Amino acid sequence: MAGSRGRPDQPASRDDEPLGVGESGARVGEGGAPVVEGDDQQFLQALMETSLYSIGAYFSDRHPELVDQVIAESEEIERIGLGEYARREGLPVEQCFETLLTGLALRYYNAVAS
Global pTM reads 0.61
Same domain (yes/no): 54, 105: yes
**What does the DSSP assignment read for 39-78?**
HHHHHHHHHTTSHHHHHHHHHHHH-GGGHHHHHHHHHHHH
**Cα separation, 79 vs 56, whole angstroms:** 21
Mean pLDDT over 46-62 rounds to 86
Same domain (yes/no): 57, 76: yes
Same domain (yes/no): 4, 49: no
Same domain (yes/no): 24, 78: no
Same domain (yes/no): 28, 59: no
Q: Is 83 exposed, middle or buried (0-12, 13-18, 19+ CB in 10 A)?
A: exposed
* Percent of residues, the chain, with pLDDT higher than 90: 50
Q: How many domains does the chain have?
A: 2
- Whether residue 84 lies inside any domain: the answer is yes
Range of the domain at 31: 1-35
- Whether residue 40 lies inside any domain: the answer is no
